[in-house]
Chains A and B, each alone.
Chain A
Amino acid sequence: MTRATAPAGPRERAPAVTSSSPAAIPLRMYFFLQIALSGLATGAIYGLIAVGYSLTFMTTKALNFALGMWVMLGGMLTFSLTVQYGVPPLVALPLILILMLALGAVAERFSVAPFLRAGSDVWVMSTLAVGLLMIDFAEIIWGRSPTPVPSFFGNAPVRIGALSILPQQLFIIAIACVVFFALDLFYRRTLTGKAFRAVAHSGEVSALMGINTRRVQVASYAAAAAFAGLAGFMVVPLTLAEPQMGTVLGLKAFAIAIIAGLAAPRGILVCGLAYGALEALISGYLYTGIRDILGFSLMILALSLKPEGLFGRPVEERA
């Protein structure tokens, strides 16, 4: 029980504000916007992980409690493939996603499915256990020390008006938006997506309607793992790759999923981005140490006041 402290989330490497002092907007405003902008990418990562929680919660009323470790796995694999073996990122990504999909399905089979039938919350512990195993094995394979992964797009900031942002950050935000948009289309327009929503609404009735609920459930866990892998792939160039990186990421993403509402995938991206910006602002204006204290307190407060989440619909209890 004397384990080294996990790092407190990704460290934003905000682009240096030096060259062109903006004339169009007041300096204070400029700083505010620049800081908030630098947090958006982290927020997008949170959102991407959080949607994984939401996906599995909707189909099984359970979730992979250690999804953060899966982000870590994606990150470490990215490090291995791109840095150690020199595989181009564009080739590495599909490899990682396929592997994560497969592992996610396997993990569902062993750490979630056996306990769903029991109708208990035991999956909290079983998925956590798998996460603990992943941390230790990652430390054995990759060692404990953090290793940098170079950005896929270099480090020259991109300018948006007077503001600037790292290309990697822009990439993350863009991909997250695409993923969420695609997911929304998937849920609403495709038959498989409708099957997902049907299972989310009532597994029993969907089964009666001929939907293979088991397959939908396994698919949701596989997809959640793949989202986590994607998040890991994109985030390591901003942070560092290390076996402990997932714990806090996973917790914060869970916090966001809960604040937005586990059954409200649309709200999750919004909440993720907002939370990322808020974190950056707290770090920028107050100090970094207080960031997680405020963030998690906010989550407890949100949950006490609105248990179904900001974007969720209240569920009437039935007697």
Chain B
Amino acid sequence: MRPPWRHLQWLALAALVALPSLVEGSYYRYLGIIVFIYGIVAVGLNILAGYAGQFSLGHAALMAMGAYTTALLSKALAPIPFFQATGAHIWLGMAAGTAVAAVFGGLLALPALRVRGPYLAMVTIAFGWVIFKILQEWVSVTGGDLGIGSIPKVRVGPWMLQTNQFYYVVLALFVLALVFQYRLVHSPFGMRLRAMKHSELGVASVGVDVYRLKVLVFIVSAAFAGFGGTLFAHQQNYISPDNFQFFSSVFFLLAVLFGGAGTQMGPVIGAAVLTLLPEMLHDFDKFRLVVYGTFILLTLFFLPTGVMGLFERGGRQFRLVAPADGGTRAVAQPLSGLPDLAGAGASLELDRVSRAFGGLQALREVSFRVEAGTIHALIGPNGAGKTTLINVITGFYRADSGHILVDGQPVSLRSMSEAARHGIARTFQTIKLFGDMTVLEHVMVGFARHSRSGIWSALAGSRRSKEETLTTLTGARELIRFVGLEGFEDRPANALPYGHRRLLEIARALAVRPRLLLLDEPAAGLVAGEIQALAAVIRRLKATGMTVLLIEHHMDLVVSISDRVTVLDYGVVIANDTPARIQRDEKVIEAYLGQAHAAA
């Protein structure tokens, strides 16, 4: 999939390389350097906001951490003869600046773990404000409002880099930043990031530690910002708090949005346009905020996906495809061979499990056993506590009391991701897919539990990361075929018909290679043909030896495929028997239809 404008990048790069020799005077080189530096910061923010979906309005402060650290360190080390001779203090300062920013990025992630949306925006603004104020007030170190002057220029050995040479250095670093972004986004790690943007629960359900993922992405993003800050300090030779105000953070987020959040080249376009535009309108300095404000509004109204969003997504725009055959396609397709699933399924035993929400006792001493390798249905009227039970089994809720035993071993799970790592996978009553990510990508994310390549192998572009992508690609294709979604691999999930989304969620859960699969109302909202397809999939799962716990309202489906049925009512198990006998159980009929029918 190589879009034709791919070559445009190389053309643009060639133009940038040639630029200094084409134009006279250092002004344009200087502008180029600034664009590249802002571009590096914007790339970092793009990874965070565009790909991982975490807004930040505090990136100017992270840039400041880098700038001030390198300014102070390189100035302090400058008198030492060794550094005087080698110029290494500057490079040391830049490394330290990047590291300090990364550490603060990690700290910033801690509140971000618990809040989203406007709250996260506020946390990042407050963080930026605190840093800004500290720079202003800690005069003895930061020089207060006057800032820090005579920051050394970048040197290689005894050679001071002139603007012309520094231009190439920064250009190279900028290209490197883009390469890192490319590798990150195209790695298994990057796929998890993009998935998290759309559904944290969905990505946790396949064994991804969302907390860890968030902290890592904040650290990486902050490192980009901090590194940009160090370059900025050595370029300008003078920094003050004014360079790193709240409005600068707005500028960076605007650059990302305008260029196209979550696109490869977006931040480049954004940083370039937003830096050059005010320069061109130099005489209208009074209107700088008007320019930015208008730009934001126009972008949001007319370019909601940004400039690059028009191009990068242009190749795969799909409309909602209604199944021509009423959704029976999945059954019609012969399922070619079973993928290597878990092998032996696990047994599950619940021992007096209780859970209350405030005064509401959702589960009251629930005990039953799910035999290994069986299909066990859990039914009950709405509000009976079925989904709560699944949430407790998968560690999303903690049980107030009672024990959960998997294969006879008591387990104590603290999160859904931990459950997935124990081989317990689930689907959701309200589908939790990853927006416009493709069917194939969804299932590939599902393999996260088996992934051995993290962020570092992604950034390094290591062979392991690439090999893993290939293996999971093969595995994902098999699973997609298994649930009958072949031919839809490249469709964005949000363009799939509803029934196919349910199947996709199952395929994603299967990628966990679970020993126990929990399906939360998989047939809800499906038409008859789709339910048959679903039943076929579940039967095939049983054939692999997997244990399936199925919450369902469609009694036809329950009766036809389950080995045993447990009935919950008001958080209490009222029956636990074979489907045939459950259908005749008076207590069950009463729970569903009321006293009169039970008596009749």
A-side interface residues toward B, CB under 8 Å? 1-5, 8, 57, 62-63, 65, 111, 114-115, 118, 121-122, 124-126, 128-133, 135-137, 139-140, 247, 251, 254-255, 258, 289-290, 292-293, 296-297, 299-300, 303-304, 307, 316-319
- Report the Cα distance A109→B311, complex, angstroms: 30
Contact status B114-A304, CB under 8 Å: yes
- CB < 8 Å neighbour of A129 from B134, B292, B432: B292
Listed stretches B250-258, B503-511, B528-536, B559-567; interface member? B250-258
Q: How far is the CB of B60 from chain A (nearest CB, A)?
A: 8
Q: Provided the pairs A118-B304, A129-B292, A129-B296 are in contact, do residues A136 and B287 lie with their beta carbons within 8 angstroms?
A: yes
Contact status A293-B137, CB under 8 Å: yes
Residues of B within 8 A of A5 (CB): 136, 145, 241-242, 245
Contact status A304-B110, CB under 8 Å: yes
Residues of A within 8 A of B357 (CB): 316
- Report the Cα distance A137→B290, complex, angstroms: 8
Q: Which residue of A is nearest B131, CB measured?
A: A293
Contact status A130-B114, CB under 8 Å: no
- Report the Cα distance A293→B134, complex, angstroms: 7
Q: Sample 17 A-B pairs with CB under 8 A, ordered by A number.
A: A4-B242, A5-B136, A114-B301, A118-B304, A125-B254, A126-B296, A128-B250, A136-B293, A251-B125, A251-B126, A292-B130, A296-B127, A297-B126, A297-B130, A303-B115, A303-B123, A307-B115
- Report the Cα distance A131→B118, complex, angstroms: 16
Chain B 241-273: CB-based contact to A (< 8 A → 1; otherwise 0): 111011110110110010000000000000000
- CB < 8 Å neighbour of B387 from A8, A136, A289, A319: A319
Residues of A within 8 A of B119 (CB): 258, 303, 307
- CB < 8 Å neighbour of A139 from B125, B286, B301, B387: B286
Contact status A319-B201, CB under 8 Å: yes
Q: How far is the CB of A275 from chain B (nearest CB, A)?
A: 13
Residues of A within 8 A of B118 (CB): 57, 62-63, 65, 121, 124
Residues of A within 8 A of B122 (CB): 254-255, 258, 299, 303
Residues of B within 8 A of A2 (CB): 242-243
Flag whether B396 is at the interface (Cβ < 8 A).
yes
Flag whether B464 is at the interface (Cβ < 8 A).
no
Q: How far is the CB of B512 from chain A (nearest CB, A)?
A: 16
- Report the Cα distance A135→B396, complex, angstroms: 46
- CB < 8 Å neighbour of A111 from B286, B297, B430, B432: B297
Residue from A122, A128, A137, A254 whose CB has the most chain B CB atoms within 10 Å: A128
Residues of B within 8 A of A255 (CB): 122, 126
Contact status A122-B304, CB under 8 Å: yes
- Report the Cα distance A297→B136, complex, angstroms: 16
Contact status A133-B396, CB under 8 Å: no
Residues of B within 8 A of A318 (CB): 430
- Report the Cα distance A105→B115, complex, angstroms: 29
Question: Does more than half of chain B's interface fall in helix, strand or loop, or is it mixed?
Answer: helix
Residues of B within 8 A of A129 (CB): 292-297, 300
Contact status A121-B117, CB under 8 Å: yes
Q: Provided the pairs A114-B301, A121-B121, A303-B115 are in contact, do residues A3 and B242 lie with their beta carbons within 8 angstroms?
A: yes
Contact status A1-B304, CB under 8 Å: no
Residue from A5, A130, A292, A296 whose CB has the most chain B CB atoms within 10 Å: A296
Q: Which residue of A is nearest B432, CB measured?
A: A319
Q: How far is the CB of B352 from chain A (nearest CB, A)?
A: 23
Using C-beta atoms within 8 Å of the partner chain, give the interface range for chain B: 35 or more
Contact status B300-A289, CB under 8 Å: no
Flag whether B576 is at the interface (Cβ < 8 A).
no
- Report the Cα distance A111→B114, complex, angstroms: 27
Those 9 A-B pairs whose CB atoms lie nearest each other, nearest first: A129-B296, A132-B293, A289-B137, A133-B293, A304-B111, A136-B289, A296-B126, A132-B289, A129-B293
Q: How far is the CB of B244 from chain A (nearest CB, A)?
A: 9
Contact status B396-A319, CB under 8 Å: yes
Chain B, range 207-249, C-beta contacts under 8 Å to A? 241-243, 245-248
Flag whether B428 is at the interface (Cβ < 8 A).
yes
Chain B 280-321: CB-based contact to A (< 8 A → 1; otherwise 0): 000000111110111111001100100000000000000000
Flag whether B368 is at the interface (Cβ < 8 A).
no
Q: Which residue of B is nearest A144, CB measured?
A: B286
Q: Which residue of B is nearest A2, CB measured?
A: B242
- Report the Cα distance A4→B290, complex, angstroms: 16
Flag whether B391 is at the interface (Cβ < 8 A).
yes
- Report the Cα distance A299→B124, complex, angstroms: 11
Contact status B121-A65, CB under 8 Å: yes
Flag whether B129 is at the interface (Cβ < 8 A).
yes
Q: How far is the CB of B551 from chain A (nearest CB, A)?
A: 12
- Report the Cα distance A316→B397, complex, angstroms: 10
Residues of A within 8 A of B242 (CB): 1-5
Q: How far is the CB of B374 from chain A (nearest CB, A)?
A: 24
Contact status B133-A289, CB under 8 Å: yes
- Report the Cα distance A317→B115, complex, angstroms: 12
Contact status A292-B129, CB under 8 Å: yes
Flag whether B416 is at the interface (Cβ < 8 A).
yes
- Report the Cα distance A139→B288, complex, angstroms: 11
Flag whether B189 is at the interface (Cβ < 8 A).
no
- Report the Cα distance A4→B136, complex, angstroms: 13
Chain B 26-57: CB-based contact to A (< 8 A → 1; otherwise 0): 00000000000000000000000000000101
Q: Which residue of A is nearest B127, CB measured?
A: A300
Q: Which residue of A is nearest B121, CB measured?
A: A124
Contact status B304-A296, CB under 8 Å: no
Residues of A within 8 A of B293 (CB): 129-133, 136
Residues of B within 8 A of A125 (CB): 253-254, 257, 296, 300
